[in-house]
Amino acid sequence: MSAFVELFCGLGGVSESVRQFNCVHSDERALNVIRAVDINRDCAAVHEHNFGLAVDCRSLESMNLHEITATHPHQTWWLSPPCQPYCRRGRGQPQRDRRCDAIQAITRFLARSDTLPSVVILENVPEFASSQDAADLRKALGQREYATWSGDLCPTQFGVPNLRRRHYLIARRDAGEVASPRIAAPTRQWNFPIASILDEDAQTAPELWVDRAIVDSYRTSMDIVDPDDVSARAACFGSGYGKSIIRSGSYLRRGDRVRRFSPTEVARLLGFSPQFRFPDRIGVRRRWKMLGNSVSVFVVRAVLESASPAVARSAGPR
């Protein structure tokens, strides 16, 4: 099994993807998450609750990253740095945002270290690709002779009725080009309808229903989907879902009323398996925020498929 390090791990979307990846692959291609790092202790608790791995709750810029590479000679690193400095709803000034310190520290490490991960994979919002941080990262990877692929991917390209376009970069130090993730052939139908992921228990949860007056005021701006429409798709769920009325995710029309998607339903749209659970102490709004900061498991699995030949080869002698 190849050693896998999940940096900026959040609640564990990438570890969930690895778990599902390993269910369909032999030991030769299987991945072993040996370390997870995130500064948020609530996210760390959710991660540990589901995957049994104690999360290192430190800021990456404060760490000696040699601590990580020293443990295994061949590693794959997954990076999902904070997207807010780059996204349209963020400050839009990453050069002044301290949340960029971590990715900048990783870039400096990759540019200078004698011990490097064999594979580096990054996920972020599309706007990241045109940032100075992205340019610096690509330069460092090129100087250290990584072959790279990068591009934007969305769950809808994989037959999933959920918009969540993100930028991905795959870099590896072995010879040869990096293949782009395999995208499903275009069809007129989703792999599953939104109705199939609904939780009947959500119908009785009062915190999910939206006040009629709010719906009347924002109806033209809210993305309201009819789950009985097999062609319906949900908008991207952001960390502000449940707090911001518009541009943070979709709503469900249920009879003559409108409600929010429950955290369980959002998790299902993102591809989390039924065995994924939140600790009881994590409230609904916190769950929405964590999921809004997570990843589409469907897409991450496709990215791992593309990167996994390098992962398998990196387990052998160099």
The number of residues in the chain equals 318
**In 10 A of CB 138, how many CB atoms?**
17
**In 10 A of CB 112, how many CB atoms?**
11
For residue 5, the cross-strand partners are: 35, 77
With beta carbons less than 8 A apart as the criterion, state whether 305 and 26 touch: no
Catalytic residue set: 83
Radius of gyration of the chain (CA): 20
With beta carbons less than 8 A apart as the criterion, state whether 167 and 126 touch: yes
For residue 154, the cross-strand partners are: none
DSSP secondary structure letters along 164-191: --EEEEEEESSSSPPPPPPPPPP-SS-S
With beta carbons less than 8 A apart as the criterion, state whether 40 and 289 touch: no
β 147-153/166-172 pair status: antiparallel
Chain CA centroid to CA 285, Å:
19
> What stretches of 93-236 show up as alpha helix (H) in DSSP?
101-112, 132-143, 212-218
Say how far apart CA 170 and CA 303 lie, in whole Å.
8
Burial 181-213 (b: 16+ CB within 10 A, else e): beeeeeeeebeebbeebbeeebeeeeebbbeee
3-class DSSP state of 5:
strand
Locus of tokens 């809808």: 156
